Structure 1
Amino acid sequence: MGKVYYISKNVGLGLLVLGVSALATIIALSIAYDKEKAKNQGRPGDGAADSTSMPTPPATLFTPKEPWDRYRLPDSLVPVSYNVTLWPRLEPNADGLYIFTGHSAVVFKCVKETDLIIIHSNKLNLTNFHGHLAKLSGLDEVTAPTIQKSWLVVKTEFLVLQLRSRLAVGATYVLYIEFQGELADDLEGFYRSEYTEDGVKKVVATSQMQATYARKTFPCFDEPAMKAVFSVTIIHKRGTVALSNGREIDGVIDGMPVKVTTFEPTERMSTYLLAFIVSDFVSIQSNQNNNLLIRIWARKKAIDDRQGDYALNVTGPILQFYERYYNATYPLSKSDQIALPDFNAGAMENWGLVTYRETALLYDPIVSSTGNKERVTTVIAHELAHMWFGNLVTLRWWNDLWLNEGFASYVEYLGADYAEPTWDMKDQIILYDMYKAFAVDALASSHPLSCREEEVNDPAQISEMFNTISYNKGAAVLRMLSEFLTEPVFARGLSSYLNTFAFDNTEYTDLWDHLQKAVENTPGIHIPHTVHDIMNRWTLQMGFPVVTIDTRTGILPYPLFTEVFEHVIVCVCCFFQALSVINRAQIIDDAFNLARAKIISTTLALTTTKYLSKEKDYIPWESVLRNLNYYILMFDRTEVYGALQAYLKKQIQPLFEHFRTITANWTRVPSGHTDQYNQINAIGIACSMGVRGCRELIRGWYRQWMETPNHNPIHPNLKSTVYCSAIAFGGTEEWDFAWMKFKNTTVASEASRLRAAMACTKTPWLLNRYLEYTLDPTKIRKQDATSTIQYIAQNVVGLPLAWNFIRARWSYIFQQYGKGSFSFSSLISGITKRFSTEFELQELKKFKEDNLHVGFGSATLALEQAIEKTTANIKWVTENKAQVLKWFTEASK
């Protein structure tokens, strides 16, 4: 007989609720997949590749006839190494342009007989050598064919060389090219960043190669599987420093007023991981990790103000954690991380030289908040995770991007938890990844984690892969895989995968092979199916799995389920403290998912929030607020909002008073990490819902700052909430003060929250003026333009203004920001969140029709999802408005 365990009544109740909660999750997540499956009857199922298509793209007239008409490189040539020299000019030329010049020699091997050389090149002016755009020579006494003709193909971004005879299989050749490009401010390839320090304009030459921008810097085989060794030389102005992936090995000053810096050859790597930077930045460094050189680079003012210290302190421990976790030594001789004033992404994992937005790397010990500190930790952990997973071992093509980004999005929580063990970081993946993935994957316009190679070809399609599914669902699925295999088995399989394929390329199924071997080699571990079979159902089809349960037949009728869930909700509201914070949050989220799937009523889901007046923990409150945010978006322009506001005021007031008490009337900071976040929730919601004393508190703090501009009395944790609320309740004077502080601050996190807060004003002309500022890079940096428009659209007053703004200027906005940027899609999704009327749906469809000739680039899928979401919102509001109004009215009494 097995062991017998006795449990208390409360624990038993908790276990019962947990079991039903898990069931609720499974059923809720199955609904979208059920609907999608019904649409796809007749297709192969259960992981068959034919069932995994992304939405069919619109047909085009373009049919490739020649190899250079296709977006993918032919497989006849393989690069071995590059020797690249770049010279960026940090002053404009006579035409007012900033340029860079350079030359490159790529050594490549012929693996299939061909009379063509096709290599990527985009927006570069190439030197003409006797009528041709390159020189070709052979190595090891090989005679190179002569070039018959050469030309550039703009559409597919290729340089093509037609040879008079064929290259020999197995022979090695050298292609030499000289080029000139513009060091533009477009945040792509080798580009220009500008900032002002002590009244002096400074220029930085920096880079962003992912996904397809290395070809804008020098001609190259610009696909992730085309790995090579890179030897880099940078010519730059004296008084500046040059950085690249390798460690600098020589800096020579010749007769000209320039410095020539050469770098150690890189390991074998992909072009999208290259980085080149010239600046007058300074650094702080550490050599504690087995004499590994770790440096943090930033503007001198930022380093002098010790804004880089925290990043330096956590980088070493995080690298040490990953070395143990992967069972693989950090593969490079140095680890540079640099904070850039202009950077489109949050950060980029360039091997050995990671680039960041300033807000993602710099932490001011006086001005920055706990949230800023957490962001620095998690972003560093994410990027350093890539040094092995993604950089050392790289996926062959962008259709499997999810594994690269999903993996880093999962293990960033492990790395951050190691660096800051008191923060309970592992719990937060539920809020920041899993819930976010559910919302998108419930849409018919979602897509599988992994899709076929031929579905991802041109740069816009590649950029579209950088989305919620790849990052958030990828993280949640890999977390699930690690949990059911157990973390030690998962780590052993991962280590085997990384060491086997070091400096090479893989497909995602290679990881499954190594995880399966780890399972088979671990005594006592047994899974009923192979890792392949289990994971195919998660990666090769969109939506959620279908699970039906019954004690006898395997079916649980929905009416019975509803009755059971009603009892669960009652138990939660009497006995909530018997459950962990994660499970309380999960039950709330399950209830709202079930309501959206029409398994339980909307009002039953709302009932889960009735106990909140007793809830003090952050994660359940955050779950509620994220779910109720949908109700706010749907109803804040209708009569429902008054009743909703009265109800939420009733629920938030005890939390507001709780924090007033434990902070001694707002004079102390809560000790717990997540308690600090919940204090922000308490003040922000209390003020927006009209809790007595809150708005006066906010106005007083902000007015005190306005009266003493050099002394800010507002605690960093509360600044975002206070700034936004004070500007919303204020007028022109409050807005102009924020703008003045925004223009003058030298702390990026402070500038970021002021930029967001200025979008909170309820004054239309101020919002319209602010929208115009987004098109002027001297006022709002290009990297911040689209997010600023989204902030304005989040404001109920700003929504129609922002919508009119982008419709009127779509062609310009698309040309400036939309062709390849993988953050551009959020502009469409952000602006259309509130759309819930037939009129708005027709406007959205007309916007699509009117701009087909312009295009939507990486926002194409986002636009389809916006139309789908708006249609669903209309239906939901029609079905639920009356009962929701009645429920909030009665519950607020």
Structure 2
Amino acid sequence: MATHLLAFSVNNFTCRFTQAASANPVRFRTCSQSANVRETGFAAEKAPQVLEFLDNLLKVSLPLEKIDQLVVDDFPTEDHSTKDLGLVVYHSKQILQREDGPMTRSKSQALQRIAHGTAHMWFGNLLGIDWWSDLWLTEGLTSYFETLAMDHLQPGMGRRLKLRNRETSFMYESEVGGVSLVSFWPLASPEVEKHLYQKATALIGMVNGFLGNATFYDGLQRHLWQNSFASSTPDLFWRSLQLASERESVLIKNWDVRSVMDTWTRKSGYPLVTVVRNGNNVILMQGNALNRSRTDLWWIPLTYIIDGETFPEDLKPRAWLTPHQSRQQLDEIVPHNQWILLNLRAVGYYRVNYDEHTWQLLGATLIDDFRSIHVLNRAQIVSDILFLWKQELVSWSTAFSVLRYIIDEDEYEPLMALVVGVTNGLWGISPDSALSIAKWLGIAGRWYAEFISYTFDKFVVRSPNQNSLDYPD
């Protein structure tokens, strides 16, 4: 194994013993000072469950007989945990919880740390990296599978984490536009480093989406088998996924995984896809969302549905925008009175701007029956329309027609998107602060809806001029 993964602990701790019922049973020792041992019960119970889920999903067993979890009071790093092969060390403030009782916010945060630490056993420990500039790949894989494990043990939480990663990365991209975060990672500030991992997580989800689960896991499993206890690179990882794609189908594709992903990992920023209706035809155009003077083009997997169609289970693209074309006409005919919705479940790392008529149709559907649109797409619509309004790409009256449904919204994700979209940058509020406000409101429970109503009333309904692009007083 890599020498930097070797760790020793000399302690006088008391331990609890549990075991994962995986294909290769792994014993867990969860150890702390004797005064805290009762509150290690949550970590002792949940860590084996996370390992069982990931072991079954990845189908690559860890070469470990035991994993030690240590809970310490004094921690030297800001991360509040370390992940060595067979050893995870947590800060007591972040992890001590009783196993009984309801799932509280603090327990949910502890579970997320446990899921992250356990996923690192595969990504970063079993599978290493060739150089530190590639750290975003193992961190992205770790956080992506952390999200899946969270959703397995706490249904619905993974959905929130996926959206939070995407929205947070979008916000940080807008603050550091112009810097290639992959190429300049060694020089990046801690804030950019955090953003980099969130973007990597979102991109891993997009790869999973356009390849499909069968191909993605085939390539990932083979990559783990072939590179265990060795260093890997993004190019090797894309190659493994490409071979899996070729095994899946004999049809020749006009793209390969590495070429697609290089357009996302070797440049900063992200695309804006613009929808234009020409009669019953739909034309899509791409450009840089943060700097319209730049000529960057991406390989963009396009998922979409037309009004009246059922949301599909898989997220394989129906079409692509490529670096060789800035615009493309879709094959489908879309009647004038029907909308088209792009980027299903917000799996793609891009924003969408529709023509005025389509925005009005989507706004009317949200008012009539907002649940007919997937919750992650509702959150995406709210996030995108606020971004477009701030960028002066849509009028306030258009944004109003889309946002007015929000007073009836009862799911966390669209409400979070509204709070983050309104507060970020307003009065000098930072991305971290905007997310903190949204998280706090979610904790506040019954006060959340009241704040949304107040925010909507102050910033939307009372706008003195619905055609104005300025913030209302």
Q: TM-score, normalised by structure 1?
A: 0.39
Moved more, 542-551 or 496-505: 542-551
Query: Residue 396 of structure 1 corresponds to which residue in structure 2?
Result: 130
Q: How does 1:421-820 map to 2 (within 5 A)?
A: 423-445=155-177, 447-448=179-180, 450-451=182-183, 455=184, 461=187, 464=190, 467-523=193-249, 527-545=253-271, 547=273, 549-550=275-276, 551=278, 554=283, 561-602=355-396, 604-630=398-424, 633=427, 678=442, 680-683=444-447, 686=450
Q: Which residue of structure 2 lines up, in the alignment, with residue 330 of structure 1? A: 62
Cα distance in 2 for residues equivalent to 1:689 and 1:553? 36
Instruction: Tell me how far apart the structure 2 counterparts of residues 326 and 555 of structure 1 sit (CA, whole Å).
Output: 37
Q: C-alpha separation between the residues in 2 aligned to 1:429 and 1:688?
A: 21
Contact persistence 1:519–1:526 (CA under 8 A): no
After TM superposition, the structure 1 = structure 2 runs for residues 22-61 of structure 1, keeping only pairs within 5 Å, are none
Cα distance in 1 for residues equivalent to 2:447 and 2:354:
40
Q: In 2, Cα distance between the equivalents of 1:488 and 1:360?
A: 36
Partner SS state of residue 622, structure 1: helix
CA contact (8 A) 2:395 2:468 kept: no
Tell whether the 8 Å contact from 2:441 to 2:447 is kept in structure 1 after alignment: no
* Counterparts of 1:446 and 1:382, CA distance in 2: 30
Contact 2:185 2:193 in 1 (8 A): no
Q: Aligned partner of 1:572: which letter?
A: L
**What value does the CA root-mean-square deviation take over the aligned residues?**
3.4
Distance in structure 2 (CA, Å) of the matches to 1:507 and 1:354: 24
Correspondent of 1:385 among 119, 143, 152:
119
Distance 1:555 1:393, change over 3 A: closer
Deviations for 1:830-857, whole angstroms, at most 9, x for unmatched residues? xxxxxxxxxxxxxxxxxxxxxxxxxxxx
Q: Identify the residue that residue 282 of structure 1 maps to in structure 2.
A: 14
1:492 CA displacement: 1.1
1:853-864 equivalences under 5 Å are: none
1:339 maps to which residue? 71
CA distance in 1, matches of 2:233, 2:363: 44
Cα distance in structure 2, aligned partners of 1:597 and 1:690: 24
Preserved contact between residue 177 and residue 269 of structure 2 (Cα < 8 Å): no
CA distance in 1, matches of 2:272, 2:409: 33
Identity among equivalent positions (%) equals 25
Q: Give, in angstroms, the shift of residue 388 of structure 1.
A: 1.4
Q: What secondary structure is seen at the aligned counterpart in 2 of 1:308?
A: helix
> Residue 2 of structure 2 corresponds to which residue in structure 1?
269
Contact kept, 8 Å, 1:318 with 1:381, in 2: the verdict is: yes
Which of 403, 407, 416 is equivalent to 2:141? 407
Tell me the residue number matched to 2:322: none
- Give the AA of the match of 2:94: A
1:362 positional shift: 2.1
> Does the 8 Å CA contact 1:401/1:465 hold for their aligned counterparts?
no
Distance 2:59 2:136 in 1: 23
Q: 2:129 touches 2:135 (CA, 8 Å); kept in 1?
A: yes
Shift in Å at residue 336 of structure 1? Answer: 0.8
Offset of residue 321 of structure 1:
2.2
Cα deviation digits, residues 270-313 of structure 1 (max 9, x gap): 41x33333333211012344452201122322213xx2212222
Structure 1 distance, partners of 2:231, 2:469, is: 56
1:416 aligns with 2:150: yes
Cα pair distance change 1:542/1:288, threshold 3 Å: closer
Change (3 A) 1:446 1:559: closer
Partner residue, 1:364: 98
User: Aligned residue for 1:373?
Assistant: 107
Whether the aligned pair in 1 keeps the contact of 2:407 and 2:452 (CA below 8 Å) is: no
Decide whether aligned partners of structure 1 residues 680 and 489 sit closer, same or farther in structure 2, where only a CA change above 3 A counts: same
1:112-123 correspondence to structure 2 within 5 Å: none
In 2 relative to 1, CA 477–622 (structure 1 residues): closer, same or farther, beyond 3 Å? same
CA distance in 2, matches of 1:333, 1:589: 46
Q: Structure 1 pair 443/634, CA: closer, same or farther in 2 (3 Å)? A: closer
| Residues 348, 354 of structure 1: 8 Å contact kept | yes
Using the TM superposition, give the Cα deviation of residue 476 of structure 1 relative to its aligned residue in structure 2, in angstroms: 0.5
Deviates more, 1:356-365 or 1:401-410: 356-365
Following superposition, the deviation at residue 431 of structure 1 comes to 2.8
Indicate how the Cα distance of structure 1 residues 446 and 365 shifts in structure 2: closer, same or farther if over 3 A, else same: farther
1:542-589 Cα shifts (integer Å, max 9, x gaps) = 111354555569467999813432342233223313223222212111
Give the length in aligned residue pairs.
Answer: 381
Q: Is the contact made by 2:85 and 2:125 (CA closer than 8 Å) also made in structure 1?
A: yes
Deviations 1:654-700 (A, max 9, x none): xxxxxxxxxxxxxxxxxxxx9x9857243267489999xxxxxxxxx
Taking the aligned partners of 1:395 and 1:545, their CA distance within structure 2 comes to: 28
Measured in 1, the distance between the counterparts of 2:181 and 2:253 equals 23
Measured in 2, the distance between the counterparts of 1:384 and 1:430 equals 18
Paired with 2:267 and 2:216, the residues of 1 have a C-alpha distance of: 23
> For structure 2, which runs of at least 5 residues remain unmatched after alignment?
286-326, 328-351, 430-438, 456-466
Q: Contact 2:62–2:126 (CA<8 Å) still a contact in 1?
A: no
Change (3 A) 1:404 1:685: same
Contact 1:602 1:884 (C-alpha < 8 Å) held by counterparts: no
- Give structure 1 stretches of 5+ with no counterpart: 1-267, 636-673, 692-879, 887-893
Change (3 A) 1:447 1:606: farther
The within-5 A match list for 1:296-307 is: 296-304=30-38, 307=39
1:312 paired residue among 38, 44, 48:
44
Shift of 1:520: 0.8
Structure 1 contact 405–470 (Cα < 8 Å) conserved: no
Structure 2 CA distance for aligned equivalents of residues 683 and 366 of structure 1:
27
> Shift in Å at residue 447 of structure 1?
3.9
Summarize the Cα distance change of 1:331–1:566 in structure 2 as closer, same or farther, 3 Å threshold: same
State the distance in 1 between where 2:109 and 2:360 align: 38
Whole-angstrom distance in 2 between the partners of 1:560 and 1:585: 16
Aligned residue identity for 1:279: N
List per-residue Cα deviations over 1:133-181 (Å, max 9, x = no partner): xxxxxxxxxxxxxxxxxxxxxxxxxxxxxxxxxxxxxxxxxxxxxxxxx
The residue number in structure 1 matching 2:471 is 884
CA distances 1:377-404 after superposition (whole Å, capped 9, x unpaired): 2221112111111111211111111101
* TM-score of the pair, normalised by structure 2: 0.71
Tell me which amino acid in the other structure corresponds to 1:519: S
Report the CA distance shift for 1:567/1:332 in structure 2 as closer, same or farther (over 3 A).
same
The answer to whether the 8 Å contact 1:603/1:884 transfers is no
* Equivalent AA in structure 1 for residue 138 of structure 2: N
